Amino acid sequence: MTDSLHIVCPHCHTTNRVRTDQLGSQPDCGSCKKPLFAARSTALDEAAFDKHIGRSQIPVLVDFWAPWCGPCRQMAPAYEQAAAQLEPQVRLVKVDTEAAPGLGTRFNIRSIPTLALFKDGREIARQPGAMSAADIVRWARSKAD
């Protein structure tokens, strides 16, 4: 019997059951039929954030950022490059702290950009400051295992 994981769709936010041996085979959402992994980050509001953090059984790396933040904009391309390298083992999402200030408050975000890694519904690591793609990948892999 093959183990399966719950994976939340980045498009419609439906929870899907995916066999672990199929993660790398570009699985599609059972609801909207779009790819569950697109090798890029997903922007989340508060409701979608709770679904991804609470239901995904793969680690979720969150970039807390704001549109007015220079270092955030500078790190954005590196974060997208990291998404291409980390998926499907890690889901990368972005939370605009201006659009979703409740999440910034809830997680006590004091500086941006801040990366926070969640596993099994709880935060397991945090890293403030802009990073290169290689550093994001290295940091996430070291913390997710």
Q: How confident is the model at residue 59, as a pLDDT?
A: 97
pLDDT tens, position by position, for the chain (145 residues)? 459 999 999 999 999 999 999 988 999 999 999 999 999 999 999 999 999 999 999 999 999 999 999 999 999 999 999 999 999 999 999 999 999 999 999 999 999 999 999 999 999 999 999 999 999 999 999 998 8
Q: Which of these is catalytic: 9, 29, 32, 69?
A: 69
Q: Which of these is catalytic: 9, 12, 32, 72?
A: 72
Q: How confident is the model at residue 56, as a pLDDT?
A: 95
Dist. CA 123–CA 115, nearest whole Å: 10
Dist. CA 91–CA 144, nearest whole Å: 11
Q: How confident is the model at residue 1, as a pLDDT?
A: 42
Contact assessment for residue 15 and residue 55, using Cβ atoms and an 8 Å cutoff = yes
- Is 29 one of the annotated active-site residues of the chain? no
* DSSP characters over 90-140: SEEEEEETTT-HHHHHHTT--SSSEEEEEETTEEEEEEES---HHHHHHHH
Q: How confident is the model at residue 2, as a pLDDT?
A: 59
